[in-house]
């Protein structure tokens, strides 16, 4: 086991002006499960492949433990990678697939059998060792691919969207198995996904990337409770955070008929940067229904009700004159609120919501950075 360190590591593809990964500074602790997450093209898979030695590092360096592996061949890095497409040999049995890398490395047969048997027990694959991959389900094939990585007993596991090919139900159960297995093995793991729910449920810490730049790295709860910029705020959380740009008038954020009190520290910071608007974010669960006479209310005209059994979400349009709700003032005109699943409003109804005190997130309109209340 070992730490992994990206020291201002960059990857610039030939013919491109902007780096695919731009000066990535990130330290992954010994035994930690770190998830790289972001939208397509953000550089997360490139970052993983740089660590694996499958992509060049044009600037900066990468270390595994105390070893500088920046220009070291992949076979010498003591890593094991699990790919999205399993990459199993169709003519080999499960046992042979799992032990093939050890066979190539000249490991004694008895040692190969022991390691394969141990990994099969961990992964509940003992009864499938003699089967060919075509006789396995998608989840079982993914476990075989993981077993092939485990038997190598590497310093670092690298996983590149290993659950993307599984159906929704199997993806949920398999991600739990992977997280549990990593805790038992205690091997440093770097996991790439575009699914923020997967990232939040699996990682000890989560690193959010956008356009090759690291936006924030924190625990899942830290990202959820205290996003450092507008992008992280909108990306983390399901349903997404409501985000809009409000006018700052007499200590209140106003837009149409909506009005939300703004802390003095936020008002002062906005005025200091020479602005009269502020970006306000609030999560669906931070809204509570109030009467139309209540101060600080946000009136919503209900469009869609999403009933999920234990939860229900209202999707609606902010009420108010259309001229005050121009598209350049709103990230999205739809406001999402969580409501009592047994007491949902009717479609077309006008409902007033208020942001629960302390649940507001304020961001600079100019930089997108968080403004502390």
The 10s digit of each residue's pLDDT in 98-141 is 999 899 989 999 999 999 999 998 888 999 999 999 999 888 89
Burial of 274 (0-12, 13-18, 19+ CB in 10 A): exposed
Q: What would the DSSP string read from start to end of 200-231?
A: HHH-SEEEEEETTEEEEEE-HHHHHH--SBHH
The yes-or-no verdict on residue 331 having pLDDT over 80 is: no
The yes-or-no verdict on residue 341 having pLDDT over 70 is: yes
pLDDT (tens digit per residue) in 4-43: 999 999 999 999 989 999 999 999 999 999 999 999 999 9
- Please tell me the predicted confidence (pLDDT) of residue 280: 93
pTM score, whole prediction:
0.89
Q: How far apart are CA 183 and CA 174, in angstroms?
A: 14
Q: How far apart are CA 94 and CA 116, in angstroms?
A: 9
Q: Which residues contact 264 (CB under 8 A, 6 or more apart)?
A: 251
Structure tokens at 105: 């490395």
Count of CB atoms situated within 10 Å of the CB of 64: 21
**Which domains occur in the chain, in start order?**
4-234 (3.40.50.300), 241-371 (2.40.50.140)
Q: How far apart are CA 150 and CA 123, in angstroms?
A: 10
Taking CA atoms, 336 is separated from 114, 233, 345, 355, in Å, by 54, 14, 13, 12
165-201 burial, b at 16+ Cβ within 10 Å, e below that, comes to ebeeebbeebbebbbebbeeeebbbbbbbbbbebbbe
Given a contact cutoff of 8 angstroms between Cβ atoms, the answer to whether 255 and 325 are in contact is: yes
Structure tokens at 242: 């409501």
The values of phi and psi at residue 162, to 5°, are -70, -15
């Amino acid at each position: 086991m070992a730490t992994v360190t990206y020291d201002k590591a960059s990857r610039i593809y030939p013919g491109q002006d902007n780096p695919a990964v731009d000066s990535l500074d990130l330290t992954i602790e010994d035994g930690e499960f770190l998830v790289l997450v972001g939208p397509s093209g953000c550089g997360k898979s490139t970052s993983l492949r740089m660590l694996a030695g499958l992509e060049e590092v044009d600037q900066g360096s990468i270390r595994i433990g105390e070893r500088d592996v920046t220009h070291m061949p992949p076979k010498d890095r003591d890593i094991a990678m699990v790919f999205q497409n399993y990459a199993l040999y169709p003519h080999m049995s499960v046992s042979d697939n799992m032990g093939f890398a050890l066979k190539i490395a000249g490991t004694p047969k008895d040692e190969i059998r022991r390691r394969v048997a141990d990994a099969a027990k961990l992964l509940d694959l003992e009864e499938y060792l003699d089967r060919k991959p075509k006789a396995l389900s998608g989840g079982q094939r993914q476990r075989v691919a993981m077993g092939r990585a485990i038997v190598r007993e590497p310093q670092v596991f690298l996983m590149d969207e290993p659950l993307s090919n599984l159906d929704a139900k199997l993806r949920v159960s398999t991600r739990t198995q992977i997280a549990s297995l990593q805790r038992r093995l205690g091997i440093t793991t770097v996991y790439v996904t575009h699914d923020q729910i997967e990232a939040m449920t699996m990682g000890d810490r989560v690193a959010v990337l956008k356009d090759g730049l690291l936006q924030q790295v924190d625990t899942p709860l830290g990202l959820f409770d205290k996003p450092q910029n507008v992008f992280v705020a909108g990306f983390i959380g399901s349903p997404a955070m409501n985000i809009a740009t409000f006018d700052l008038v007499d200590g209140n954020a106003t837009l149409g008929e909506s009005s939300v009190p703004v802390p003095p520290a936020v008002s002062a910071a906005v005025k200091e940067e020479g602005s009269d608007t502020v970006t306000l974010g609030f999560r669906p669960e931070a809204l509570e229904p109030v009467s139309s006479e209540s101060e600080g209310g946000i009136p919503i005209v209900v469009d869609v009700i999403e009933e999920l059994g234990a939860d229900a979400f209202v999707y609606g349009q902010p009420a108010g004159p259309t001229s005050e709700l121009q598209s350049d003032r709103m990230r999205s005109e739809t406001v999402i609120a969580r409501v009592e699943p047994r007491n949902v409003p009717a479609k077309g109804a006008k409902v007033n919501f208020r942001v629960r005190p302390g649940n507001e997130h304020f961001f600079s309109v100019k930089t997108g950075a968080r403004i502390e209340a």
